[in-house]
Chain A
Amino acid sequence: MSRHRGLLAGILGKQPIGTAFVTPYVVFLAVIFAYPLGFAVYMSFHDYFFTAPGAIVDRPWVGLANYATVLSDPAVRRSFVNVGIFLVINVPLTVILSLVLAYALNSAIRWRTFFRVSYYVPYVAASVAVVGVWLFLFNSNGLVNSVLGPLAPDPSWLVNSKLAMPTVALYVTWKQLGFFILLYLAALQNVSKDLYEAASMDGAGRLKSFWNVTVPGVRPATTLVVLLATVTGANLFTEPYLLTGGGGPDGHSASPVLIMYQKGIEQGNPDVGSAIGVLLVIGVLLLALVERRFVGREDR
């Protein structure tokens, strides 16, 4: 009997009831992640269009035709350039600001809780809500331009083809910063105090010890911040949709996800939309690999 149990435990584990506990979650992942992921790839290689439910239609294999359509479309190419501009502004700014602010917050400073709360509030609030204020602030006769007076850009921020995307990038940096500050605050707990003492014994100033102790000490967190900021940037939709009236001016702030929505659902070409999605994910994966090489190199 007991040997029998031992054998069974070897196959099923000691508490096979665990399988029952995780089944709903596994089913959820299969239905909501795995299947749609495969379905997206399938659609991108077929001529897929919307039909009435239950209708049996032919969905011919078209190879790379959807990808060719996507890559030859200037609007799609523009959206990938736009997300590039976004990332070039957003990712470095996020890393620098969140690390510096977390470093400043990590010391025994008055009102520490107040500061933490105030930096985190934009992250908690809905983007749709906060977009409303930004529209009000960055309007051509909004508060920001009233303060700037003659320095205000013309045409104004969100309708300016050169400034629209950078303004969106600034918005998202501001909105998400609190989350990344918390990540760095956690990482700073793991940097050994001895290293700071050793650095100050060696006569290193505050700036020098920040650069030589803090920055390398939080490198794993930096890798994570860069990766998460990149993924967030690649998922950009709400902000160009609402801040710049659907990617204006003239598509200069349209994101790939926005174009994917327009082509895939508004214009009824889910196959083309899926191809954009697949390209976007491949792009993000490649970018993540490159970033890991540069940011995470001292891990290994």
Chain B
Amino acid sequence: MRKSPLRFVLLLVGAFIFLFPFYYMLIGSLQAEPDPSVGGAFPDPSNLTGHNYVEINAAIHLGKSLLNSGIFTGGVILGTLVFGVLTGYALARLQFRGRGAVFNLMLLVQVVPFQLLTIPLYVMIVRSYGLADSYLGMIAPFAINSTAVFVFRQYFLQLPQELFDAARIDGANELNILWRVAIPLVKPALLTGVLLTFIGPWNEFLWPFLITKQQDLQPLAVSLSNYLTTVSARAANPFGAVLAGACVLAAPAVGLFIAFQRRFISSSLESGVKG
């Protein structure tokens, strides 16, 4: 293709618009005095401090919130890995009655807007089962990520059939084939599934917000938003503290993404449209 400096400049301007808020988040979280002027976008060493991090930590117990986010996310990943791999494998490799129905169900679920289910799930989980303020109640609606199941199926589908035929002739049972033949071959892909699954619960807000009223059970996204809506008006540098919390919340997902960006992008490319 022809070289196009104009295209390059446009992409650069675009990248600036996309990255600037993150840079500004970091600078703002380190400023002792909020400075909304243009000059405030450039760090002034005399105005930099870690105090905002101390303040947000005192207000919402960052450690405990992060731990809650971690348990929530970990539970979802565990459920998705164990049951999602079993389902994906069965849908890709096993002939059994109802396979088509399960596959169609999986596709259908992707278009059901989760928000419609919020109220009935709230009634069921909080009112009927009494699972408010519990990790189980938090994890349950997300326990198996259907998108990840779909991605797992795609990976198992790509393996050559001869491997499975050979293993079956040798008399291996299906659980053994899955564990010793199929999983080792798609291990790198499973990591992608884990990364894809991570973003959802880590960033999820509405559901944990609804079911956790006790502060010491809230994931970071929820405690930070509560700080944003209630406490921040009384704080000395509310934006500084909010931005410090925002950096802590954004950092793990963004960090994982940058570290594994090649996997993220190629997996989305493979599973996105070709389906």
A associates with B: yes
Taking a contact as CB atoms closer than 8 A, the residue among B7, B115, B143 that contacts A260 in the complex is B115
With both chains docked as a complex, state the minimum distance between the C-beta of B266 and any C-beta of chain A, in angstroms: 10
- Does B118 touch A at the CB level, under 8 Å? yes
Interface stretch of the complex, out of B15-23, B43-51, B183-191: B15-23
Interface stretch of the complex, out of A29-37, A88-96, A160-168: A29-37
A29/B7 contact (C-beta < 8 A), A147-B38, A220-B273, A281-B116 known: no
> Does A109 contact B239, Cβ atoms closer than 8 Å?
no
- Does A201 touch B at the CB level, under 8 Å? no
- Does B272 touch A at the CB level, under 8 Å? yes
Taking a contact as CB atoms closer than 8 A, the residue among A36, A104, A231 that contacts B7 in the complex is A104
CB-based closest 3 A-B pairs: A18-B96, A18-B94, A13-B96
Q: Which chain A residues border B89 with CB–CB below 8 Å? A: 21
Taking a contact as CB atoms closer than 8 A, the residue among A113, A117, A265 that contacts B210 in the complex is A265
Q: Which chain B residues border A17 with CB–CB below 8 Å? A: 94, 96, 173-175
- Does A78 touch B at the CB level, under 8 Å? no
Interface 1/0s, chain B 1-36, versus A by CB < 8 A?
A: 100100110110011011101101100100000101
For window 95-139 of chain B, which residues contact chain A by CB distance below 8 Å?
95-99, 102, 105-106, 109, 111-124, 127-128, 130
Name 5 extra pairs, CB < 8 A, besides A18-B96, A21-B174. Answer: A109-B7, A110-B8, A124-B254, A126-B221, A132-B242
- Does B228 touch A at the CB level, under 8 Å? yes
With both chains docked as a complex, state the minimum distance between the C-beta of A222 and any C-beta of chain B, in angstroms: 11
For window 182-229 of chain A, which residues contact chain B by CB distance below 8 Å?
182-183, 185-187, 189-190, 220-221, 224
> Can you name 14 A-B residue pairings with CB atoms under 8 Å?
A25-B87, A29-B109, A35-B124, A36-B124, A114-B15, A117-B258, A121-B19, A128-B228, A135-B242, A179-B268, A186-B270, A234-B115, A242-B228, A277-B119
Measured in the bound complex, the distance between the Cα atoms of B35 and A143 in whole Å is 9
With both chains docked as a complex, state the minimum distance between the C-beta of A18 and any C-beta of chain B, in angstroms: 3
> Does B228 contact A33, Cβ atoms closer than 8 Å?
no
With both chains docked as a complex, state the minimum distance between the C-beta of A286 and any C-beta of chain B, in angstroms: 14
> Does A104 contact B10, Cβ atoms closer than 8 Å?
yes
> Does B243 contact A143, Cβ atoms closer than 8 Å?
no
Measured in the bound complex, the distance between the Cα atoms of B97 and A101 in whole Å is 45
> Does A146 contact B15, Cβ atoms closer than 8 Å?
no
- Does B172 touch A at the CB level, under 8 Å? no
Taking a contact as CB atoms closer than 8 A, the residue among B8, B128, B173 that contacts A53 in the complex is B128
B contacts, CB < 8 Å to A: 1, 4, 7-8, 10-11, 14-15, 17-19, 21-22, 24-25, 28, 34, 36-38, 40-41, 83-84, 86-87, 89-91, 94-99, 102, 105-106, 109, 111-124, 127-128, 130, 140-141, 143-144, 149, 173-175, 199, 202-203, 205-206, 210, 221, 224-225, 228-229, 239, 242-243, 245-247, 249-250, 253-254, 257-258, 261, 264-265, 268-270, 272-274
> Does A29 contact B105, Cβ atoms closer than 8 Å?
yes
Q: Which chain B residues border A220 with CB–CB below 8 Å? A: 273
**How many A residues have CB within 8 A of the partner chain?**
103
- Does A153 touch B at the CB level, under 8 Å? no
Taking a contact as CB atoms closer than 8 A, the residue among B90, B115, B250 that contacts A235 in the complex is B115
> Does B21 contact A134, Cβ atoms closer than 8 Å?
yes
A22/B87 contact (C-beta < 8 A), A43-B120, A118-B19, A141-B36 known: yes
> Does A120 contact B261, Cβ atoms closer than 8 Å?
yes
Q: Which chain A residues border B28 with CB–CB below 8 Å? A: 133, 136
> Does B96 contact A25, Cβ atoms closer than 8 Å?
no
Q: Which chain A residues border B99 with CB–CB below 8 Å? A: 13, 18, 22
> Does B115 contact A36, Cβ atoms closer than 8 Å?
no
> Does A107 contact B269, Cβ atoms closer than 8 Å?
no
For window 2-54 of chain A, which residues contact chain B by CB distance below 8 Å?
9, 11-19, 21-22, 24-26, 28-29, 32-33, 35-37, 39-40, 43, 48, 50-51, 53
> Does A122 contact B18, Cβ atoms closer than 8 Å?
yes
> Does A137 contact B24, Cβ atoms closer than 8 Å?
yes
> Does A109 contact B11, Cβ atoms closer than 8 Å?
yes
> Does B202 contact A126, Cβ atoms closer than 8 Å?
yes
Measured in the bound complex, the distance between the Cα atoms of B239 and A142 in whole Å is 11
With both chains docked as a complex, state the minimum distance between the C-beta of B209 and any C-beta of chain A, in angstroms: 9
